[in-house]
């Protein structure tokens, strides 16, 4: 892909040591429906360190956004969440994101230590507040004076490429791209230790896409952490330190970004890269399985050119020198077979 990193984003796993800002272990999310169960996230393990940008990629409906909402306690009542997710930030003790309850999430986590750029900005914005007032209220809630909040609103608007004139509009007066930039400004305003950005570039034209990505990269280069949820592999390649690939509710490959883009190990990862316009431009064949009817074996089997009888067993996510893969026949050397 013809992308260039704006800064010195690490391309090896330089964040292995030190206290992570987020550890997720065995996270599983199910939704109970009247006559079915949606297996949205399965046994997901992830670690994110300060200064690191981890991109979670995969086709729509694979569970990426559910993961973000599970970490912030934003799932509907029919969801069941098991496993562990712990936030570690310097100014407080560890916070058990799954078990701490709504009160702690609302007062200690959401919008304070963890910011969220939501996927649907139109529904996330209070319709009776201008953008300026929304940002100022956010800053005031985090201890800034009125004057500081006023100046801060202008600053974060400029950071995301939002014209000050547009800051005085109501949400219904904003284009999709402007609304996207406003929710990004709201998430960045409190300077959270961890930012979860769920498709933060949707609705933006290419220069603003790059501007937003570089803004996220800049946060990591100054010591904060970002989890970027995206189906845009070009975006991930531009800024990510590490890539986690989700398919049918599971992480199937986890690699340093440079290794992922040069030598993908899981057949699904290779198919995603082959679909890019500047590579083979060949779509991934077939469709993902329904999350209400996942197979007992490898969920990618019906689409996989390498499938064998062995694949009727679920491949475990197995670590190797630089990453992890869930496949019985990984593609490149260095991975377990």
- The residues binding ligand SF4 (CB under 6 A) are 267, 298, 300-301, 304, 306-307, 311, 315, 327-329
Measured from the CB atom, the residue of 176 and 334 that comes closer to ligand SF4 is 334
Residue 233 Cβ vs ligand SF4, minimum distance, rounded to whole Å: 18
Measured from the CB atom, the residue of 7 and 319 that comes closer to ligand SF4 is 319
Measured from the CB atom, the residue of 228 and 311 that comes closer to ligand SF4 is 311
Measured from the CB atom, the residue of 264 and 267 that comes closer to ligand SF4 is 267
Residue 334 Cβ vs ligand SF4, minimum distance, rounded to whole Å: 16
CA distance 305 to 151: 56
Measured at the CA of 277, the angle between CA 274 and CA 280, to 5 degrees, comes to 35
Beta partners for 46? 24
**How many Cβ atoms from other residues are within 10 Å of residue 128's Cβ?**
9
CA distance 17 to 50: 10
Residue 170 Cβ vs ligand SF4, minimum distance, rounded to whole Å: 48
Measured from the CB atom, the residue of 95 and 271 that comes closer to ligand SF4 is 271
CB half-sphere exposure, 188, CA atoms < 13 A: 26
Nearest 5°: phi and psi at 211? -60, -45
Dihedral sign from CA coordinates of 94, 99, 105, 107: negative
Residue 306 Cβ vs ligand SF4, minimum distance, rounded to whole Å: 4
Measured from the CB atom, the residue of 74 and 307 that comes closer to ligand SF4 is 307
Residue 181 Cβ vs ligand SF4, minimum distance, rounded to whole Å: 38
Measured from the CB atom, the residue of 222 and 308 that comes closer to ligand SF4 is 308
CA distance 145 to 94: 29
Decide: 182 and 129 in contact? Cβ < 8 Å. no
Residue 265 Cβ vs ligand SF4, minimum distance, rounded to whole Å: 10
Residue 43 Cβ vs ligand SF4, minimum distance, rounded to whole Å: 16
Among 219, 253, 256, 221, which residue's Cα sits nearest to residue 236? 256
Decide: 254 and 323 in contact? Cβ < 8 Å. yes
């Amino acid at each position: 892909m013809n992308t260039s990193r704006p800064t010195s984003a690490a391309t090896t796993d330089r964040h292995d040591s030190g206290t992570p800002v987020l550890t997720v272990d065995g996270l599983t999310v199910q939704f109970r429906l009247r006559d079915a169960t949606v297996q949205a996230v399965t046994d997901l393990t992830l670690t994110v360190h300060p200064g690191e940008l981890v991109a979670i990629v995969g086709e729509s409906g694979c569970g990426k956004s559910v993961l973000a909402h599970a970490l912030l306690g934003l799932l509907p009542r029919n969801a069941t969440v098991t496993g562990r997710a712990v936030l570690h930030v310097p100014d407080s003790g560890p916070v058990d994101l799954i078990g701490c309850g709504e009160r702690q999430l609302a007062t200690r986590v959401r919008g304070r230590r963890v910011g969220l750029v939501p996927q649907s900005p139109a529904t996330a914005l209070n319709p009776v507040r201008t953008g300026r007032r929304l940002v100022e209220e956010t800053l005031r809630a985090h201890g800034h004076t009125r004057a500081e909040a006023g100046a801060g609103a202008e600053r974060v608007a400029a950071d995301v490429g939002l014209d000050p004139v547009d800051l005085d509009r109501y949400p219904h007066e904003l284009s999709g791209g402007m609304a996207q930039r406003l929710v990004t400004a709201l998430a960045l305003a409190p300077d959270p230790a961890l930012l979860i950005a769920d498709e933060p570039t949707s609705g933006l034209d290419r220069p603003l896409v790059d501007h937003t990505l570089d803004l996220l990269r800049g946060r990591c280069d100054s010591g904060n952490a970002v989890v970027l949820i995206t189906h845009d592999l070009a975006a991930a390649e531009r800024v990510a330190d590490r890539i986690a690939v989700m398919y049918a509710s599971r992480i199937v490959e986890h690699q340093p970004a440079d290794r992922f883009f040069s030598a993908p190990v899981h057949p699904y990862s290779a198919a995603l890269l082959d679909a890019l316009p500047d590579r083979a431009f060949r779509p991934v064949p077939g469709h993902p399985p329904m999350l209400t009817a996942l197979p007992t074996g490898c969920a990618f089997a019906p689409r996989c050119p390498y499938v064998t009888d062995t694949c009727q067993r679920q491949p475990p996510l197995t670590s190797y020198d630089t990453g992890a893969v869930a496949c019985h026949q990984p593609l490149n050397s260095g991975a377990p077979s």
